[in-house]
Every structure is written in C-alpha cells, then in structure tokens.
Chain A
Amino acid sequence: MFKLMPGSDPGPLVTIDVDGRALKVRTGVSLALALMEVDIVPLRRTPVSGAPRSPLCLMGVCFECLCEVDGRRNVQSCMIEVADGMRVRLATGARHLEAVK
C-alpha cells in the first residue's frame, strides 16, 4: 500500500525482526514508516472495538502506531528511528499489567 516514489534511492537496508520474521527496511526513517513500507497494514487493532488501525499523524500525536519494541510495550513507533536488529512485536489487545515484584 505504501511505496517509495519510483526512482528514489532506498539507500542502505537493515534487518529488523517483526513477530519472528526478518524484514529488510530502509535506515534513517521512523519505525512506523519502515513498517508501513513493508506492508504491515493494519499495524494494530484497537483494544476497544477491534477495529484495524494504521499510523495516521506520524508525528507523535495520534497514538495509532503503537507496538512493542525491544521489550518495551506500546511504544510510539513514529517517534523512534529504525535500527538494525530491532525486535518488534505487533500489539495484541490492551496492555497487560505485570504483577508487582
């Protein structure tokens, strides 16, 4: 659904892990954009109604691009730059509250 404009140079690629799949993405872009470019659409479903959602604002406001990154839950993926070896888990349902240690 989302593609680079024809003729643009994607530049060097890195590999990230998305739910166990190794995917090659551009460097220098936000994780949200990288996920859109490899067709992770929808990115998540709302925990309220289950409706499909994808990044909307790409500037930290809409909270539609949440996913788990390197063990951190509900990270705004538009606000971090993609990095080689990043481990991404797509959100499933409302956040689980871990028991207090």
Chain B
Amino acid sequence: MSDPDTIVIGGGVVGLSIAYGLARGGERVRLLDEGDDAFRAARGNFGLVWVQGKGAGKPAYALWSIGSAKRWPAFAEDLNRCTGVDLQLSQPGGLSLCLDEAELQAQADTMGKLASDLAALGEPYPYEILGANALRELCPPVGPDVVGACFCPLDGHVSPLKLLRSLTEALTSLDGELKTGQQVEAIEYRDGVFHVRAGGTTHVAAKLVLAAGLGNAELAPMVGLSAPVKPVRGQVLISERVEHFLDLPTGSVRQTGDGGVQIGDSREDVGFDNGTTTDELSRIASRAQRMFPLLAGVNIVRTWGALRVMTPDGYPIYQASTDCPGAFVVTCHSGITLAAQHAGPIADWIRGGPEPAILANFKAERFHV
C-alpha cells in the first residue's frame, strides 16, 4: 500500500470529521483507530448540536459554535448524498429547563452576558427567557416543577451513532483507509516525514493529525505539541421507544429520531472510570421526571458512562506544530456540535489553506502560565 498524504490518529467523530473533510478535498487519508477497549467518547455522547450557554467568558468559542451550527445543515446534506444515512438532524431550537428561580436567573445572566459580548463583535445572539406559561405553550409536556426556560433557536440535535456510521462510510467511499486495532506506540519525525508505529506496522506520511481524544495528552508531546486533556464523566440513560411527544431537545433530555428518550445530566471527576452509579442515575432520572412527568413508568433500557475530553478551561485546542511541521492537534469536548467546522474550515486549513483567524483563541499556550 502506498503512503497516504495524511495520517489521522483517532477514529471518533473528531478524527473522522477531519479525515472526511481531507478526503473530500482530494487528499489520500489513512485513519488509525484504537481497539474497542479505547475510551470512545464518540460512542457515548448525547448528540446535541448546541450553542446556548457556550463560550461565556470566551466569545470566540460562542462564535465558533454558532458557525458550526449554521454549517450543520449543509454538512449533513453532503454526508447524506454520499452515504444515504439519515442522521436525524433536527435544529428546531433548544431549551434549558430550569427547576427553580435561581437556575433560571443564572441562565438569564449567562445568556445576557454572551449576547452583549457577541453584539460587540457584530454577531446576533438570539435567545428568549421564557416564564412558565410561555414555556408551556412552546413545550406542552413540561411539568409543574419547571419554572421557566431559556430557548435558543440555534440549538438542535442529531443521532451521534448515525453520524459516526455515515462518516465512516463516507471516508471509505472517498478511498480513505480506515485501520482499526491501531494503538499508537510511538511517533518519530525524520527528514520531514512522520513515522507512526502502531499494531506492529509503521505508517508513514508527511502530515499527521492527532484527534485521539484523551489519548492526545500522551501523543501530542511526541510531535512538539501539548494537549493537557482530562476525563470528565457523564452518565446517560435511554428509554424504550415511545410515541413522539417532544419536539425540542433540552440540555439534558431529548427524544431521539427513533423514539427513545435520552437523558444525561452529570459531570463527574472520577478519572478514567467510565462506569455508572445508581445514585447518579437515579438523580438524573428523577430530575428528568420532574421536567417531563409523563416519563414516570417509562422503561429505561440502557445506561452507560462516557468520558468527556476536557482541557483545563473546557475550550478546544487547534494547533500546528512548529517543531515538527505537518503535525496538527485537534481536541475538544463538543465533537458533535463542532463536526461541521472540523470537516470544513479545519480540514481546509490542514490541507494547506490559511489558518482561520479565530483559531488564535484556541492555542495550548494559554495553559502554560
């Protein structure tokens, strides 16, 4: 097999989105994916394409997320044309439901701050704080414990598993090579070329993209980069399929295109433990039931834990190596929301285009103080 133009390490939604974007632009791509014992955030996540509340304190991140949400329809359409897989993308706006006045006030404060930060940058930030009555009109199944909500018309959701499948099929159909069972042991940069040793083979290419999620922490220093990422666990529940009752996704409850109700609402610092706990699952379920009382009695069919990939400030890192030109690191915890940016502007940059100016906000140097 001949050497590819670019090796992408990481077969999750981040690595696949970039690999798909590169292959679409005409590059020969080889994607190295670890085994099924890897911590696969792309298989455990919640599936929101989400804007509201993101980037409070870092307006560039809000802009980057808004840009991706706007790119999503065309991204999904291109993928659908390529693979025929229905991603179940729906962007009708989303709700953050609040169970007490303090939550609602905090959400209103965050959104107000974001709106004024973005107004200063000339970007509109549409949202609405809804009281109990207005909310019930927009979303009739909410329960009496919900005091209000924030509605943002930019929000939506998608099937993360169908996205993963579609990206895999699309990459293959564009002659990208997908290699599984490739745990990377070492990367060497010699004579302007990367030698990646994985699973008994050495893969060689002039360009290298690190998109290995939590694995980036160890890989990045091999090519003069830094990705200080740590796991933050989320626990998720999914119900049996029920009749359609919920049009709008909320930050913690959404009805999937297949009818299951997905519920996820935890952030835990527990290292590399991706298990579940009864205490946390019951807390999540009881909150969801207060939001939507008609969920009482609905059967939960599966629960799982997944590890978010978090930098110290929660924002992404997009960086090209100066020590080893041709190496890039990409890490973020919103791989679904940002997939359209990764397949578009990020892939264009890695292919050799100019670096999008906004990426200056997402360098690892911010952690080296």
Chain A residues within CB distance 8 Å of chain B: 47-48, 63, 66, 73-74, 93-100
Contact = CB atoms under 8 A, between A and B. Distances in A.
Q: Which of A63, A94, A97, A98 has the most CB of B within 10 A?
A: A97
A99 B294 contact: yes
Interface in B275-323: 293-299, 301
Given A94-B243, A95-B240, A47 B259 contact: yes
Mostly, the A contact residues are loop
B139 interface: no
Given A97-B245, A100-B293, A74 B240 contact: yes
Given A47-B241, A63-B301, A100 B258 contact: no
Contacts of A63: 240, 301
Given A74-B299, A95-B242, A97-B298, 12 more contacts: A94-B243, A94-B244, A94-B259, A95-B240, A95-B241, A95-B243, A97-B242, A97-B295, A98-B294, A99-B294, A100-B293, A100-B294
A99 B296 CA distance: 10
B243 A93 contact: yes
Contacts, number: 38
A49 to B, nearest CB: 9
Contacts of A95: 240-243, 298
21 contacts: A47-B241, A47-B258, A48-B241, A48-B258, A48-B259, A93-B243, A94-B241, A94-B242, A94-B244, A95-B240, A95-B298, A96-B242, A96-B243, A97-B242, A97-B243, A97-B298, A98-B294, A98-B297, A100-B143, A100-B294, A100-B296
A89 to B, nearest CB: 15
A50 to B, nearest CB: 12
Q: Which 4 A-B pairs have the closest CB atoms?
A: A100-B293, A95-B242, A97-B294, A94-B241
A73 B242 CA distance: 11
Contacts of A48: 241, 258-259
Contacts of A74: 240, 299
Interface of B: 143, 240-245, 258-259, 293-299, 301
Nearest to A96: B243
Nearest to B258: A48
B240 A66 contact: yes
A95 B301 CA distance: 13
B263 to A, nearest CB: 15
Nearest to A99: B294
A100 B293 CA distance: 7
Contacts of B258: 47-48
Contacts of B241: 47-48, 94-95
A73 B294 CA distance: 14
Nearest to B240: A74
Contacts of B298: 95, 97
A98 B294 CA distance: 7
A100 B146 CA distance: 15
Contacts of A73: 299
B46 to A, nearest CB: 20
A48 B296 CA distance: 22
A95 B245 CA distance: 11
B31 to A, nearest CB: 30
Q: Which of A47, A66, A98, A99 has the most CB of B within 10 A?
A: A47
